[in-house]
Structure 1
């Protein structure tokens, strides 16, 4: 079995032209979508270089859409290659027998295998030209504005070209993922409120959720007690569609695209609990420490200056809890959105808590401005991950940013859409059973969301409310009980950061003559699973496999051989 060669075209010249005029290239986020699963790929800065590598799959991400380049792509497909596009390749429409339709700015895609239509931020559908009869297969459908909106054509067109094909998604999937995760644009004023009054965003405090890309009517569900929550991790679901499609193409060619499990072997998903030290009274911390001791869990403590006494930090650290930053930019609490303030608060935490490393930060009140200031500051001042993308209001809890997975955010055009070396790990909610917030009826829905998506169920509880409100303490106990019941492991946020960064150091470079993946890079702190997709006719009678992304996969375990440059993976016995 051979490894499928995947090439991503990100032409430097075409990119620079867009950046010059202030245009973002979020198409490049396809790299993060593949890197999260460690799918092997290579990126090329010219179309010619990519074609010279003779890839099996060519993702036409960013390139000059000239007639000459269109001809090159069609010749490549005619010779057996597969071109994949996410709402691009406009210059190929006429040659393939199609006409471009009106762009759809917001809508939903109905796709096979997905229980609900997936929200998208932009799409450019095609329709067949009158009198033309292209050889194609259509997948899914698009609706404008709402899940029941006017039909706008197919979600995916697979157009036969000679011995190959052009696979064109109508949806800008990478751009949709970016806007779901990072917002519809820079935060500079209050966001749109829910028409039913459940989300009161217009209070004059700029926050992460002021640019939420979700819809209050179509993207929320309600618990049996009437609590509204965002229920659909659309960004994660879209990433799954990207991966499922590419794997299916590879397998159809008799090749494979191996990938790495999100978590260590035997772990499907994880839960995390963090605390924000608002009010900063030692007695609040002492009550929290005792409750955590009773529950036998370790958590992440986000510290707001001036924080607790040094004895509290020492006790928390001795019990395995994690000291993190709670950056204050809230004006009525004496904060300001300012890089120097962030730098100084990070330096204060290192001194006050006696820590050299700050694994993570969460902004006080989820305060946020601009597009990527926070990620740049974290990167510059040694804060490895952030948790600020979470809800500030009652009605927008849940996956309001479309994901429960850790991810590396992307900059805007001013820094040429680079990826920040800061891992974003969002949270679902604050202080369950608080009298002014929401009750614990959301615990099970949140755990189901995280478990189904193989992501992170992150709950926030403030120490002050743990101390003062018995119902909040009861909710925390219930979270821990339900986490165990659902089979999630409890990690700190810093441990999630460490694991994801360790995963990213592993590269799948080949499969050997037995079909076993060959990897390079550092060994993982815990064994993880590698999956090798195969076609059904490649399975022998009685051979064990797991179904992943709709395809049977052989499973292997990472085992590092220290005496060799490559790690050889030993097959797990069924």
Structure 2
């Protein structure tokens, strides 16, 4: 089956105009969404008929909202192209008999689920619905009909009705598929925060998450609502249960794939993990008090549990012999940047560099593969990622909760992802893989208890992400409850089909997998790839037409709600 040719339009002229006036083009984050799942596409930087002509599907991420440019898009659709927009293409509205209502703000959308674990409605952060032009444009004689999918509520799950989440319009021989929700914008702000961290965030009214303690942290700019986006465990622990950003990612991907299938084409994508690996879990540690006996206790427990973990080291660290024991046991030694003033740290680029030099010398490694900031200290937007890039540290784990009442999916995701910069860096993608965590030090009393383990793991399974838990060595040493909860976590995760990886394993595989390009899909089921290195065990999922028999016994599975055929790549990877 022929692969659909997908273009992502990020018109250079339009983007530069926005950057000039200090505006972000977070809509281009759709590129990262497609890259992460290995779905083939090309970026289009010019908006003219010749540039658009090769593409079966055109995702309009950024384009000038002018009559002349809108005409080019209209003609592309008339000639059979499929346009997809996320709250854009507003210059086309009048031609269809509609006008935009303007930014509708935060709300909740009820859309077709991709998993039985998906909540009834998904929180979104930005939407621009269309409404009939009516008297606003008396020259309009007809209003174009559309097929609608889902519905939106303003402000809260039972708020005022804002209309369809997705509208499909016929234009000549082609279509305009317009999401009223700005999905890429929503995902970016959920994952990276609602803006630069400049001051404390608002605390939870119930006192369970006092983030306003005069310490700037990652969780000071979360996009979730304390009331509508948390639930309680059976023991009364409040937590964020839903990876909203991951479900929006799946909705976007499902829709793009379906647009290809509707054209009699397909759009293969890669599996997130190697063949034979069902689900991924990760445990990391922060050395904090830096006592050798803490490390020894952790090593003993991890040997008992037969797992390898990631050890983030805070200056001054352990005694020299400890690091060799950690390495010999197969654990990963990493960095724990200290910018916490009460622990004599501070937020500064040169200080970050100095601490990186210290950790390399202390642990005896030339290359550090990941970092997690002490107490999740964070400021601004992209400084941390710039510092990591400059020091050659390819991964980070800082985005996670610091309080009892904000554990879980407070950043909307359990997927590794590459963050996007602000307009001052032309919204580039940082070369740092973020692997956030869900909770820390369960069963300590002042933090969450073990009742969150199963729901966290269930949601990670539902979106095929990585469930990351943090435990400090000091609590492993001093508290039997913490040692027991790690045993409970490992047992439950393995029972549910999880494999434990270190941060390095996650980021190495993710980068390797994402280096592969799917180039062709043959009628006999073979998939052609282009890769710089062989990627044994890589899984490619090939979406199937509804006319094909869905046969689970022959390896068929549903991904993003779409029936797919499984292809496992080994020796047939083309290496260039």
Contact 2:52 2:76 in 1 (8 A): no
Deviates more, 1:367-376 or 1:73-82: 73-82
The answer for the alignment partner of 2:475 in structure 1 is 465
**Mapping of residues 100-115 of structure 1, within 5 Å:** 100-113=100-113, 114-115=118-119
The answer for the alignment partner of 1:122 in structure 2 is 126
Which whole-Å CA distance do the structure 1 matches of 2:208 and 2:549 have between them?
52
Secondary structure in 2 aligned to 1:108? strand
The answer for the alignment partner of 2:558 in structure 1 is 547
The answer for the alignment partner of 2:152 in structure 1 is 142
Deviates more, 1:217-226 or 1:419-428: 217-226
Per the TM alignment, residue 12 of structure 1 is displaced from its structure 2 partner at its CA by 1.1
The answer for the alignment partner of 1:228 in structure 2 is 238
**Mapping of residues 142-291 of structure 1, within 5 Å:** 142-291=152-301
Contact 1:535 1:551 in 2 (8 A): no
The answer for the alignment partner of 1:556 in structure 2 is 567
Secondary structure in 1 aligned to 2:512? helix
Per the TM alignment, residue 293 of structure 1 is displaced from its structure 2 partner at its CA by 1.1
Secondary structure in 2 aligned to 1:264? coil
Per the TM alignment, residue 516 of structure 1 is displaced from its structure 2 partner at its CA by 2.3
Which whole-Å CA distance do the structure 2 matches of 1:53 and 1:366 have between them?
47
**CA offsets, 1:536-565, max 9 Å, x none?**
214499976322222222211112347x54
1:531 aligns with 2:541: yes
Which whole-Å CA distance do the structure 2 matches of 1:385 and 1:278 have between them?
20
Which whole-Å CA distance do the structure 2 matches of 1:195 and 1:399 have between them?
19
**CA offsets, 1:177-201, max 9 Å, x none?**
0000000000010001111221101
Q: What TM-score, normalized by structure 2, do the two folds share?
A: 0.96
Contact 2:535 2:570 in 1 (8 A): no
Which whole-Å CA distance do the structure 1 matches of 2:49 and 2:42 have between them?
11
The answer for the alignment partner of 1:571 in structure 2 is none
The answer for the alignment partner of 1:570 in structure 2 is none
CA 50–353 in structure 1, closer or farther in 2 if over 3 Å, else same: farther
Per the TM alignment, residue 39 of structure 1 is displaced from its structure 2 partner at its CA by 0.3
Secondary structure in 1 aligned to 2:520? strand
Per the TM alignment, residue 44 of structure 1 is displaced from its structure 2 partner at its CA by 1.2
The answer for the alignment partner of 1:36 in structure 2 is 36
Secondary structure in 1 aligned to 2:524? coil
Contact 1:51 1:76 in 2 (8 A): no
Q: Which runs of 4+ in 1 moved over 6 A?
A: 540-543
Which whole-Å CA distance do the structure 1 matches of 2:410 and 2:555 have between them?
38
> Which runs of 5 or more residues in structure 2 are unaligned?
135-140
Which whole-Å CA distance do the structure 2 matches of 1:468 and 1:320 have between them?
24
**Mapping of residues 367-378 of structure 1, within 5 Å:** 367-378=377-388
Q: What TM-score, normalized by structure 1, do the two folds share?
A: 0.96
In structure 2, which of residues 385, 389, 395 is the aligned counterpart of residue 379 of structure 1?
Answer: 389
**Mapping of residues 41-56 of structure 1, within 5 Å:** 41-48=41-48, 51-56=51-56
CA 75–364 in structure 1, closer or farther in 2 if over 3 Å, else same: same
Which whole-Å CA distance do the structure 2 matches of 1:543 and 1:440 have between them?
38
Which whole-Å CA distance do the structure 2 matches of 1:528 and 1:493 have between them?
19
Which whole-Å CA distance do the structure 2 matches of 1:6 and 1:546 have between them?
24
The answer for the alignment partner of 2:137 in structure 1 is none
Number of residues paired by the alignment?
565
Contact 2:550 2:556 in 1 (8 A): no
Contact 1:7 1:50 in 2 (8 A): no
**CA offsets, 1:124-162, max 9 Å, x none?**
000233363313101111111111111111100000111
Secondary structure in 1 aligned to 2:299? helix
Which whole-Å CA distance do the structure 1 matches of 2:535 and 2:410 have between them?
32
The answer for the alignment partner of 2:354 in structure 1 is 344
> Which runs of 5 or more residues in structure 1 are unaligned?
567-574
Secondary structure in 1 aligned to 2:249? helix
Per the TM alignment, residue 294 of structure 1 is displaced from its structure 2 partner at its CA by 1.1
**CA offsets, 1:181-237, max 9 Å, x none?**
000000010001111221101110000000000111111111101111101101100
Contact 2:78 2:172 in 1 (8 A): yes
The answer for the alignment partner of 1:72 in structure 2 is 72
Contact 2:8 2:61 in 1 (8 A): yes
Per the TM alignment, residue 78 of structure 1 is displaced from its structure 2 partner at its CA by 1.0
**Mapping of residues 77-92 of structure 1, within 5 Å:** 77-92=77-92
Which whole-Å CA distance do the structure 2 matches of 1:57 and 1:299 have between them?
43
